[in-house]
């Protein structure tokens, strides 16, 4: 493996050890799974995975993330967000992503405070900087850290490291919010989200 990737991984381990206790926003995707595994390796039981049930993501994604974290032997907290109750999110504008992330990070910070854990981490990576990401502002405001970005790790590097570590989902395709299927300005409702979800599940079958 490329020595530069190994150096990034070593730096990640060093940063995790210095933090001592962390909460990780866990989606079950490859980025947050890699981060969770590395945190577990460095910090053992001082890692808490938070899995959030959202109206804008498939229930199967939530169930899969919970099952994966439990299979890894990591402590898991399950919580939920009612994003469509927030008029800014339901309005489905470019700013909606900011409000959605703000809701998420506020919940993560609350859970971290209750459990007396000083750091909240998410799985954002270098590739995310190339996309439209209003959530970055919400992350900065909330004081949440993106260690994979801080050590300059890219998606392919994370897949390579994950494969080397025998993480079973190392090649899992990325998934995103069901809200992304709707043009900006189309008001989001539970009915619309459900119809899109059912249609996509039918196509996948």
> Burial level of 124, CB count in 10 A (0-12/13-18/19+)?
buried
Q: In which residue are the tokens 């809701």 written?
A: 103
Q: Is 92 a catalytic residue?
A: no
DSSP string spanning 119-132? EEE----GGGGGS-
> Burial level of 14, CB count in 10 A (0-12/13-18/19+)?
exposed
Query: Which residue among 176, 184, 189, 198 is the active-site one?
Result: 176
CA–CA separation, 166 and 87 (whole Å):
43
Q: Are 25 and 32 in contact (CB under 8 A)?
A: yes
Q: In which residue are the tokens 């490291």 written?
A: 161
Active site residues: 176
């Amino acid at each position: 493996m490329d020595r530069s990737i190994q150096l990034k991984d070593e730096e990640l381990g060093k940063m995790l050890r210095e933090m001592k206790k962390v909460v990780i926003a866990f989606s079950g995707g490859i980025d947050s799974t890699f981060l969770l595994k590395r945190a577990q390796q460095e910090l053992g039981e001082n890692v808490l995975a938070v899995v959030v049930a959202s109206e804008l993501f498939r229930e199967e994604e939530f169930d899969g993330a919970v099952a994966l974290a439990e299979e890894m032997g990591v402590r898991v907290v399950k919580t939920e967000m009612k994003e469509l109750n927030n008029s800014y999110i339901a309005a489905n504008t470019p700013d909606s992503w900011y409000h959605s992330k703000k809701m998420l990070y506020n919940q993560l910070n609350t859970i971290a405070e209750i459990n007396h854990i000083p750091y909240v981490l998410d799985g954002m990576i270098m590739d995310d900087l190339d996309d439209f990401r209003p959530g970055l502002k919400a992350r900065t405001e909330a004081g949440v850290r993106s260690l994979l970005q801080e050590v300059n790790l890219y998606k392919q590097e994370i897949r390579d490291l994950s494969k080397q570590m025998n993480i079973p989902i190392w090649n899992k395709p990325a998934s995103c919010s069901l809200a992304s299927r709707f043009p900006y300005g189309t008001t989001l409702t539970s009915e619309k989200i459900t119809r899109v979800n059912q249609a996509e599940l039918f196509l996948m079958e």
